[in-house]
Structure 1
């Protein structure tokens, strides 16, 4: 068994399978497990192999793929609208300019178009790739239903009203998640994605300010001072816009529950991270997840299923793109 694969005692396994299958059957449209069993039986294997190969040569890929699925699903639903190129598409919005992992999706798509032309959607590839990325870096192995179709609408102006910002307050995050039919608990669980990946200095610069001597000083006292000093060293005012730091200062290459343990020691990188600990509505969740990785993994599987089912297009909706970067028309 691969490292990081989750092993449940029998009663828990049965319970989880029941929850997953019940959820899949309740999804709008007809997402089903093994959707490509007859039409393209190697589809999931090809996606996983592409993610694994890409991650071996670039350790930043898992974090990029996880961010990609969030940014895609929160705007227009999980329909690969973020992949479309154009002057005024979602991808052109500044909030998406640092999103990566597109080449991995396109690489898997090219292979699938050769073997099973016009069959596997870019939307499914994105969801499967994010799922596989988590497992590859030690997270839980989960099954997700497929059958998503690709959207044909991608407008930059739809991005900001839908995605989250790292400076959001708890109420702003709750409202944004609620708009997507995601719960307060889903918010806490899916924030755990910050256990891997990196962030540009600008994404947490609001926690610091420039003093009279032209140096950064900490203004957000909820941040551990030693950790803050480390961040200021890695991200001085003179730092290039391309400079990035690890989301998780402890185990940045492993998908685990260290993110929640970091929060308990005031080492959440973003203001939106620290808010989870400060707010009475979420603090107990953070404490429970910090103390129980199995609980986090089990909960991650359920919340990830919900995330990747936001606004899905199935049946006659949308299309199956020949290239993820453009519609077929």
Structure 2
């Protein structure tokens, strides 16, 4: 069963790579001559770092999405400084920057100035998913790093957890992603954690200052658990697992949670309520292999958004700053 599952994913990726115009400048073999140990070194670095920080896979996956969805997968979210993407409030809670920086330094010991930070981020997120029990996806490589990182680019492109399905679908469509991609990529919420503020619209304060649920789509006991973890006076740094059942395992539990009305975000619950997405949620909840195959396809599409190649970008010396 495992070999068939792996074969299915490989066939799916080969189909995408051979039929997709937007990924044509990229190739899984891009570094085969210039830095043949690239994938091995990234995988080893991520495995080592995740041993010290079990929350790392969720952080890297979120970091990748926040990079690609804004102005393409060009590592612009990694640039530090005032007025950069990283300084926007939506990105201030991102993590995993230091691991990517150390991975880039490791690669530059073997192949100085060859591997882009954009490719490091894609490979790191890919390997983080596999490390957490998800599928290992063959991804095309050859991205270059963007030379622009502006805070003003973030909000017009970022998905908010309070978005309606139409709002999410419109944004995804503008990036070349379909409704099915939206459902599959939302499965990233099977790992990771979120601050209380990211689902606060599902509650309101009563006259005594206590939080009460206002969202009927949230299962009652789960709603009370969230209130206990995130009371009205909760510390802003408090976080809650996206998936209350298997928070560190990349599996299809996210979709099972949706059926049980224990999806953390409003944008999660909407996928179950809307007939345009409900069938896919139910299907993924029943069949993890189907989810993994769809995830692999959608992940390749996500990581191919707005890539820069050739003279369109640069290979940064440090992921956190643009070259001189």
TM-score (norm 1): 0.96
Cα shift readout 1:216-272 (whole Å, capped 9, x = no counterpart): 000001100000000000111121100001000111110000000000011110000
Please list every run of 5 or more consecutive structure 2 residues that lacks an aligned counterpart in the other structure.
none
1:192 aligns with 2:168: no
- Measured after TM superposition, the shift of residue 75 of structure 1 is 1.1
TM-score, normalised by the number of residues in structure 2: 0.97
**Cross-structure match for 2:209:** 214
1:275 equivalent in alignment to 2:270: yes
Q: Deviation of residue 97 (structure 1)?
A: 0.1
Give the CA deviation at 1:10: 8.7
Residue 16 of structure 1 and its aligned partner are, at CA, apart by: 2.5
Measure the CA separation in 2 of the matches of 1:10 and 1:82.
32
Question: Structure 1 stretches of 5 or more lacking a match?
Answer: none
Question: Is it true that 1:7 corresponds to 2:37 in the alignment?
Answer: no
The alpha-carbon distance between structure 1 residues 317 and 6, as it changes in their structure 2 partners (threshold 3 A), is: farther
Moved over 2 A (4+): 9-18, 25-29
1:156 corresponds, among 148, 151, 160, to: 151
Q: Does 1:254 align with 2:249?
A: yes
Indicate if the aligned counterparts of 1:34 and 1:146 stay in contact, CA closer than 8 A: yes
Measured on the aligned residues, the alpha-carbon RMSD in Å equals 1.5
Contact 1:200 1:241 in 2 (8 A): yes
How far does the alpha carbon of each residue in 1:20-53 deviate from its partner, in whole angstroms, 9 at most, with x for none?
Answer: 4324x63345100121111111111111111111
1:29/1:313 contact within 8 Å kept: no
Distance 2:115 2:190 in 1: 30
Aligned residue in 2 for 1:175: 170
Tell me if 1:21 matches 2:17.
Answer: yes
